[in-house]
């Protein structure tokens, strides 16, 4: 650990100590979904999937989210179960997407998830989005996601690497999910240990409660919300663009559908599109003779004024073994 990493780690330890000293318990069972690394591991699709499954088990779920880049400062309802109550720039793009996709689920944005949780109007299950490093709320289950492609990267702490905290902190997790796997189902310790450059996890002996999961293209969606079949992309010449943490996974999904991806234009994660960006996208798509323009569902919500009938977004579902849901929903 060099000096820069040590300074970051010292700040992390201080934040953790302060948070734990003020930790409070919400009135109902609480599941946290988080990760050890910066960047996209698939938290939002899994949070959506858990909320959907929880309803089947008789729960009325409430998702508590920081709402990254959302301008609303105080805790605010993004949804009470019937669609968005705010604009995406107030809630943040991911909470807004959750509100569009989920019915019968409360979604509350707030930096302090406890203060957000006490606003709930009848939920009996709380799901904390990106909660592994949020110390102020006690949780019954910590679910931690690890990208099966990039793992822990170079194994170093931010800013020298992708780790938010040391790999050894994975011992706090109750359940580990290896996302973007080639298959789904229960995993074994060797599936997890291969990402650990220092064999720290072998010393902790995490051997159970590990699952493999994948993301699956589910549908196409237009700016007006119409869902269309995936085969519309088969053989099409497409211009793709996105502002997500892992753009390559988006491109790979399009190619798996049989689309001919002529160009992939990338923006930073959570990017807010301007009129000049839209003009540039349309010009570039025209220059390569694209038959369709495609982006992600998270990006689409920021492009409602994109006046082009050839624009689509790719909807993604999170696929994981049913045993995972039984463990986290029946085991609490």
Q: How confident is the model at residue 42 (pLDDT cuts 50, 70, 90)?
A: confident
pLDDT at 329: 96
Instruction: Evaluate if residue 182 carries a pLDDT over 80.
Output: no
pLDDT at 258: 96
Q: What is the pLDDT of residues 301-313, one digit of tens each?
A: 998 777 677 899 9
pLDDT at 248: 87
Window from 7-16, 111-120, 138-147 with minimum mean pLDDT: 7-16
Window from 18-22, 181-185, 191-195, 207-211 with minimum mean pLDDT: 181-185
User: Stretch 98-116: mean pLDDT, rounded?
Assistant: 96
Kindly list the structural domains of the chain, giving each domain's residue range(s) and its CATH number in brackets, ordered by start. Answer: 3-215+319-330 (3.40.50), 216-317 (3.40.50)
User: Stretch 243-268: mean pLDDT, rounded?
Assistant: 93
The three-class DSSP label of residue 96 is: helix
pLDDT at 235: 96
Most confident of 197-206, 234-243, 247-256: 234-243
Would you say 141 and 31 are in contact if contact means Cβ atoms under 8 Å apart?
yes
pLDDT at 332: 60
User: Stretch 123-143: mean pLDDT, rounded?
Assistant: 96
Would you say 67 and 78 are in contact if contact means Cβ atoms under 8 Å apart?
yes
Own/partner contacts of 157-163, CB < 8 Å, gap of 24 or more, are: 157/1, 157/5, 157/8, 157/9, 158/5, 158/8, 158/38, 159/4, 159/5, 159/8, 160/2, 160/4, 160/5, 162/37, 162/38, 162/39, 163/36, 163/37, 163/38
Instruction: Evaluate if residue 245 carries a pLDDT over 90.
Output: no
């Amino acid at each position: 650990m060099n000096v820069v990493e040590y300074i970051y780690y010292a700040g992390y330890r201080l934040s953790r100590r302060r948070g734990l000293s003020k930790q409070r318990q919400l009135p109902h069972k609480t599941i946290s979904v988080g990760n050890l690394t910066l960047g996209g591991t698939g938290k939002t699709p899994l949070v959506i999937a858990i909320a959907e499954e929880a309803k089947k088990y008789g729960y009325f779920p409430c998702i508590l989210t920081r709402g990254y880049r959302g301008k609303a400062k105080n805790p605010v309802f993004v949804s009470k179960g019937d669609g968005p109550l705010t604009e995406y720039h107030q809630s943040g793009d991911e909470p807004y997407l959750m509100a569009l996709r989920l019915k019968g689920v409360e979604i509350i944005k707030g930096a302090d998830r406890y203060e957000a949780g006490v606003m709930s109007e009848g939920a009996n299950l709380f799901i904390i989005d990106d909660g592994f490093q949020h110390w102020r709320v006690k949780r019954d289950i910590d679910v931690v996601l690890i990208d099966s492609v990039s793992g822990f990267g170079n194994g170093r702490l931010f800013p020298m690497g992708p780790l938010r905290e040391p790999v050894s902190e994975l011992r706090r997790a109750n359940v580990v999910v290896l996302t973007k796997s080639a298959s789904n189902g229960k995993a074994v310790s060797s599936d997890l240990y291969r990402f650990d450059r220092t064999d720290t996890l072998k010393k902790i002996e995490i051997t159970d409660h590990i699952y493999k999961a994948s993301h699956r293209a589910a549908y196409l969606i237009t700016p007006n919300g119409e869902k269309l079949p995936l085969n519309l992309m088969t053989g099409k010449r497409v211009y793709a663009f996105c502002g997500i943490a892992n753009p390559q996974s988006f491109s790979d999904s399009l190619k798996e559908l049989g689309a001919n991806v002529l160009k992939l234009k990338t923006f930073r994660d959570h990017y807010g599109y301007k009129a000049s960006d839209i003009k540039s996208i349309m010009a570039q798509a025209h220059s390569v003779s694209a038959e369709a323009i495609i982006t992600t569902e998270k990006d689409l919500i920021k492009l409602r004024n994109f006046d082009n009938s050839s624009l689509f977004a790719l909807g993604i579902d999170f696929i994981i073994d049913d045993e995972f849901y039984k463990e986290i929903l029946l085991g609490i």
